[in-house]
Structure formats: structure tokens, C-alpha cells
């Protein structure tokens, strides 16, 4: 009996230790699991857990619940499986899930000059491949809405497009959804403008109490104008000014950050999703923005194009990242 009892105890102990939640609560933290965002494929990699204290701006609820990849058909309004319980159990359909804030921290936020921040992070070096925007409320830090489109290049052969997408998205299992949903940049902009008007952010002339937030100047200073030229369209007026979060970071914390990952490490914010998947990078930039707002930062326009000569940019901060 003693031998049987000992074996039973070992089996029960093994089963308890297989439960990551029990292990997390009872022992030292397990390795941090990062789930690659995909539409129909989930790739999981494990990296060592670094010692950190979660940002006050971030809810800790996601650290004790099963991580789900984002349904990228859903982010583009094209998910046809919203009544499929297996699909709903496997994929996340709530873009705000990783961007929850503690209500008690909201009284730390300074009064801002803007009502909404449009966090943008483009993907694609040759032509734009992905156009994601998160609309963040400047007072509540809540994700009000999302606009996300994959973009089909207009000046490439199908063979080059396939190679481009395989190299960019194939390794994270997002190539299929890209091919299924990507549309030309001109159509993306038409849909984006309709979205802006629906949100009452754009009525012509300039954005209404809102501004784009980017991690660097490249997205709106360089890439969008280049893409507009390739797509033979005029640069929309709402792309004439933006907030470079790296400049805000430098002036607020008096620390120079080279990019999103550096800011997240310094602020001890864990990375979510897949780096260089635009929608995930946009969420991570938004997490940095939330942290800075709760720390008391004033987030304001850092760069503005010359209306008569859009290639000329006036940088409004003397102390800035070059």
C-alpha cells in the first residue's frame, strides 16, 4: 500500500504541475509564452521570463488567462465564423483585450489637447502591406475602434508579391489571410476615410480633435507619400501632421529610445503578439502610449508638413530623435 500511495502522490503532483495557472500561483513564474497572431494557424514560442513589474497602465488579467491569437479576418470585418464555438474558443475577437487599464489610474492622466489618438504602424518596405489604426480615447484610454486592412501592392508581379508575402508573413502563419483579404491602397484609403467620417474624426480640412501616433517619423513623413505617388493619388490632408512617440518619450523621460522594443523594455511592459505584424505592433505602441499618459505625459503634435510643399516637414520639438 505504501508503494501504491507513493505512486498516486507522484501522479497527482505531476498533474498539478502541468497546470500553468497552479504553477504560476504556487511557484516561481513560468517561461513567458508568446503566441503568434494568425488567422488559422497558431505558432507558440517560449522565451525566458524577465523580472519586471507590470505597468500601472496595464491590466494583469491577461497573465493568468489562456492567450489566444487575434482573428485577423475579424479585424478587417471579414470573419464568417462568429457563430462557430470552436473558432471563437481558439481565436480572440476583442482588440482591446491586451489594452485594458486600471480605472484607478485614470485620475493620473493630464488634460490633453486631443480627444483621440490614432495609433498607426505600417508594414512594408517596398510598398505598404498592412495598414492598422487603433483609436484610443485620450481620457479613458479605451480602444474605441480599430481599422485594419492588408494592402496589395500595385506595381509588382504576382510572383514577386508571393515571394514578398512569404518572406514577410509566412513565418508567422499570416500569409493565407493576407492573400484572402488584401486590397489596393486606393481602396484602403477610401475605406479609411469612410471610417474616419463614421467616427466623426474627419469632416474635411483637418482631423477633429485627433492625431496620428507613430513610433518614428517614417510612416507619415516617408512611406505614405511614397505609396500615394506609386498609387497615383494625392496625399490626403489628414496625413499632414502626427505625433512621433519617440520624441514625446525623449522629452518626458529624458531618455533616448531607438524604437518600440526599447521603450517597452525600459518601461517594463511585456511584448504581446508578433513583432513586425502591424496590428500587434500597433497594440504594443498603444500600450507604451497608455503607460506614458498615466505617468503624466502631455502627448502633442511633434511634426507637421508644409501644406504648399508636403515634402517639407516642420519638426516642432527642439529635442527630438533624428
C-alpha to C-alpha distance for 242 and 21, rounded to whole angstroms:
42
C-alpha to C-alpha distance for 195 and 125, rounded to whole angstroms:
25
Q: Could you confirm whether 123 is annotated as catalytic?
A: yes
Selecting among 123, 127, 130, 241, the annotated active-site residue is 123
Selecting among 62, 142, 179, 276, the annotated active-site residue is 276
Q: How far is CA 146 from CA 3, 93, 121, 210, 254, in A?
A: 59, 12, 13, 14, 31
Give DSSP secondary structure letters for 193-252.
Answer: HHHHHHTT-BSSSSBSSEEEEESSSIIIIIIHHHHHHHTT-PPPGGGSEEEEHHHHHHHH
List Cβ neighbours of 129 (8 Å cut-off, separation of 6 or more). Answer: 123, 150, 151, 153, 164, 165, 168, 169, 178, 182, 278
Interhelix angle 278-295/245-253, nearest 10 degrees: 30
C-alpha to C-alpha distance for 292 and 308, rounded to whole angstroms:
34
Q: Evaluate whether 123 touches 130 at the Cβ level (below 8 Å).
A: yes
Helices and strands in the chain, H and E counts = 11, 10
Q: Could you confirm whether 241 is annotated as catalytic?
A: no
Catalytically active residues are 123, 276
Amino acid at each position: 500500500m505504501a508503494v501504491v500511495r507513493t505512486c498516486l502522490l507522484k501522479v497527482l503532483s505531476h498533474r498539478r504541475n502541468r497546470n500553468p495557472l497552479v504553477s504560476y500561483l504556487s511557484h516561481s513564474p513560468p517561461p513567458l509564452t508568446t503566441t503568434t497572431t494568425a488567422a488559422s494557424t497558431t505558432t507558440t514560442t517560449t522565451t525566458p521570463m524577465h523580472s519586471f513589474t507590470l505597468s500601472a497602465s496595464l491590466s494583469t488579467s491577461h497573465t493568468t488567462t489562456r492567450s489566444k491569437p487575434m482573428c485577423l479576418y475579424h479585424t478587417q470585418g471579414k470573419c464568417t465564423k462568429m457563430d462557430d464555438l470552436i473558432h471563437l474558443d481558439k481565436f480572440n475577437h476583442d482588440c482591446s483585450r491586451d489594452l485594458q487599464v486600471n480605472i484607478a489610474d485614470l485620475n493620473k492622466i493630464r488634460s490633453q489637447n486631443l480627444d483621440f489618438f490614432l495609433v498607426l504602424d505600417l508594414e512594408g518596405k517596398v510598398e505598404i502591406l498592412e495598414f492598422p489604426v487603433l483609436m484610443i480615447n485620450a481620457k479613458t484610454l479605451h480602444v474605441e475602434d480599430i481599422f485594419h486592412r492588408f494592402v496589395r501592392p500595385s506595381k509588382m508581379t504576382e510572383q514577386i508579391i508571393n515571394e514578398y508575402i512569404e518572406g514577410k508573413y509566412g513565418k508567422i502563419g499570416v500569409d493565407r489571410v493576407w492573400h484572402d483579404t488584401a486590397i489596393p491602397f486606393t481602396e484602403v484609403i477610401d475605406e479609411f476615410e469612410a471610417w474616419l467620417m463614421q467616427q466623426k474624426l474627419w469632416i474635411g480640412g483637418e482631423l477633429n480633435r485627433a492625431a496620428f501616433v507613430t513610433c518614428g517619423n517614417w510612416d507619415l513623413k516617408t512611406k505614405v507619400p511614397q505609396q500615394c505617388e506609386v498609387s497615383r493619388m494625392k496625399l490626403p490632408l489628414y496625413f499632414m501632421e502626427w505625433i512621433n512617440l519617440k520624441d514625446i518619450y525623449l522629452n518626458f523621460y529624458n531618455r533616448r529610445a531607438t524604437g518600440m522594443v526599447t521603450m517597452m523594455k525600459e518601461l517594463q511592459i511585456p511584448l504581446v503578439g508578433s513583432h513586425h505584424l502591424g496590428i500587434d505592433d500597433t497594440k504594443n505602441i498603444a500600450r507604451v502610449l497608455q503607460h506614458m499618459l498615466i505617468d503624466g505625459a502631455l502627448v502633442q503634435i511633434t511634426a507637421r508638413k508644409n501644406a504648399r510643399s508636403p515634402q517639407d516637414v516642420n519638426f516642432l520639438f527642439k529635442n527630438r530623435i533624428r
